């Protein structure tokens, strides 16, 4: 597997065990600025664990990872560079959408936190519901707020774990455009998804994880969609 | 660090203000406790001045636990804690923010419970109100730092409701004993100076608990 010392993200033999089970098993990869790595894999392949390590939410058992050249766990400067979109929304239901995003903006010490929140909500086309409590929003609307929350500080590395969960066609299209825009601006994206079409549409590189390992990593341009889809389906079926 | 802690505390207090779930249950528990103690009290056997400190500190201890359980519980439904931990905010600030919110919570319960005890037991609290508030605040600092730490440890377990009191209560003892003793001195009409040795002990435990719990908190986050 490839490593890239000058990458936005680089991992070297990254391993994370839970008891005797290796959720992430010796992963070495690099993702450069402006790249989107779409990671596919069956449930339990270790994709979410990998993202949680890169987000600083889990410590690796062994191996190392760097973000922007700084070795994890790093400090506040590293965490400031990262945005996390998860299938959990990371929101507080009792607060409004605006309060949630403003709270995140203030955690990242954005001076104009109100303006930044307004822009992030507007970008996800949820500004009209900004003053509604999150508990009153549909799952898809919550996911839009969650994305606004993750992007409010304009991260240089976006770790997106099933970010399209619950989004309708418009929401998914807005998110796709947003991810395309941020990679255009030089940010890196690691996108974990089960949706082959969405993943391949955004990816510059494509990987498949299984059993904690990366079993395929290739440039998007060299991948045939139907052959890839068949291989992925076979892999998922084998593990079912 | 403190500005981040205050930001997190304000967020927690805003959530509690909107939902009022823990505050109302703590308040109802405190008032019910006072009433039950009152009706179980035989005034010919025990004087109000002897009984009241015990009543106060039993109520503060257990009603405080209700708020502390909520402290990290509010982070659970949509993994808000992951948003905090992946932000640039120091782990220690997260702990202090939670502890400050819990301190406000306990202080508000105390502000209702102390006059209620004074009313039911016919205690003249006017002269001792200020020093009594000081004791209550000092003790609350010790209780919430320990309770907040154990709330963080217990929240990811299946038995959080059971584990939090089991872990916290033994560590509450060094705070509750000097607080109850100092309260008893004040209520029995002794000069404040007589309570000073107990207050010094309380202060010492506060300092130890605040420092130790703040430093220990990041280690509770390991999965």
Instruction: Note the pLDDT tens digit of each residue in A24-58.
Output: 999 999 999 999 999 999 888 899 999 999 999 99
Instruction: Please tell me which residue, A74 or A104, carries the higher pLDDT value.
Output: A104
- The Cα-based distances of A216 to A197, A232, A239 in angstroms read 17, 10, 16
- With beta carbons under 8 A apart, name residues in chain B contacting A80: 88
Residue B29: exposure state from Cβ atoms within 10 A (0-12, 13-18, ≥19): middle
**What is the ipTM score, two decimals?**
0.88
- A188-213 per-position pLDDT tens digit: 999 999 888 889 999 999 999 998 99
**Are the Cβ atoms of A99 and B86 closer than 8 angstroms?**
no
Whose tokens are 């805003």? That residue is B14
What confidence category does residue A2 fall into, taking pLDDT thresholds of 50, 70 and 90? Answer: very low
Is A95's CB within 8 Å of B80's CB?
no
Q: Rg of chain B over CA atoms, in angstroms?
A: 18
Q: Does A110 touch chain B (CB under 8 A)?
A: no
Q: What is the pLDDT of residues A147-182, one digit of tens each?
A: 999 999 999 999 999 998 888 888 899 999 999 999
* SS3 (DSSP) at B114: helix
Place of tokens 């941020």: A182
Mean pLDDT by 10 residues, chain B (223 residues): 92 92 89 91 84 90 87 87 93 94 93 91 84 93 94 84 88 94 89 90 95 91 70
pTM: 0.89
Given its phi and psi angles, is residue B46 left (phi above 0), alpha (psi -120 to 50 degrees) or beta? Answer: beta
* A6 pLDDT more than 80: no
% helix, strand, coil for chain A, step of 5: 40, 25, 35
Kindly state the DSSP code that residue A29 receives in the 8-state scheme.
E
Collect all residues of chain B within an 8 Å Cβ-Cβ radius of residue A93: 77-78
Chain position carrying tokens 């139907």: A226
Contacts of B90 in chain A (CB under 8 A): 76
Contact A91 B11 (CB under 8 A): no
Distance CA B86, CA A85 (A): 11
Given phi > 0 = left and psi -120 to 50 = alpha, else beta, which region is A235?
alpha
Q: Count Cβ neighbours within 10 Å for each residue of B68-95 and write b for 16 or more, e otherwise.
A: bbbbbbbbeebbbbbbbbbbbbebbbbb
Nearest CA in chain B to A49: B223
Check pLDDT > 80 for residue A4.
no
Q: How confident is the model at residue A144 (pLDDT cuts 50, 70, 90)?
A: very high
């Amino acid at each position: 597997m490839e490593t890239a010392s000058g990458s936005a993200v680089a991992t070297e033999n990254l391993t994370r065990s839970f008891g005797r089970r290796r959720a992430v098993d010796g992963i070495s990869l690099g993702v450069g600025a402006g790249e989107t790595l779409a990671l596919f894999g069956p449930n339990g392949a270790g994709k979410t664990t990998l993202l949680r390590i890169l987000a600083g939410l889990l410590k690796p058992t062994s191996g190392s990872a760097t973000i922007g050249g700084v070795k994890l766990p790093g400090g506040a400067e590293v965490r400031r560079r990262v945005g996390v979109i998860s299938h959990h929304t990371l929101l507080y239901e009792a607060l409004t959408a605006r309060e949630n995003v403003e709270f995140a903006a203030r955690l990242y010490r954005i001076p104009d936190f109100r303006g930044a929140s307004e822009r992030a909500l507007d970008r996800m086309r949820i500004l009209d519901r900004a003053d509604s409590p999150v508990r009153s929003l549909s799952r898809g609307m919550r996911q839009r707020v969650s994305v606004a929350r993750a992007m409010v500080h304009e991260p240089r590395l976006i770790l997106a774990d099933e970010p399209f969960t619950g989004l309708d066609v418009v929401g998914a299209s807005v998110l796709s455009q947003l991810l395309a825009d941020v990679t255009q601006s030089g940010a890196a994206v690691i996108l974990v998804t089960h949706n082959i079409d969405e993943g391949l549409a955004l990816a510059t590189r494509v990987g498949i994880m299984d059993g904690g390992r990366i079993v395929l990593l290739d440039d998007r341009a060299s991948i045939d969609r139907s052959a890839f889809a068949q291989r992925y389906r076979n892999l998922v079926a084998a593990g079912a | 660090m403190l500005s981040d802690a205050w930001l997190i505390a304000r967020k927690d207090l805003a959530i509690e203000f909107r939902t009022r779930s823990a505050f109302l249950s703590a308040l109802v528990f405190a008032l019910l406790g006072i009433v039950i103690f009152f009706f179980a009290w035989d005034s010919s056997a025990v004087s109000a001045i002897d009984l009241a400190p015990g009543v106060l500190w039993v109520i503060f201890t257990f009603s405080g636990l209700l708020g502390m359980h909520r402290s990290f519980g509010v982070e659970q439904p949509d993994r808000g804690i992951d948003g905090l931990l992946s932000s640039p905010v120091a782990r220690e600030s997260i702990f202090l923010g939670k502890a400050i919110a819990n301190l406000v919570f306990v202080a508000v319960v105390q502000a209702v419970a102390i006059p209620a005890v004074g009313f039911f037991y016919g205690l003249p609290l006017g002269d001792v109100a200020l020093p009594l508030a000081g004791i209550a605040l000092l003790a609350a600092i010790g209780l919430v730092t320990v309770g907040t730490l154990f709330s963080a440890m217990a929240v990811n377990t299946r038995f959080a409701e059971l584990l939090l009191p089991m872990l916290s209560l033994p560590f509450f003892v060094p705070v509750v004993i000097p607080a109850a003793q100092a309260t008893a001195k004040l209520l029995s009409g002794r000069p404040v100076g007589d309570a000073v040795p107990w207050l010094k002990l309380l202060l010492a435990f506060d300092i130890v608990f605040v420092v130790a719990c703040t430093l220990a908190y990041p280690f509770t986050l390991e999965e």
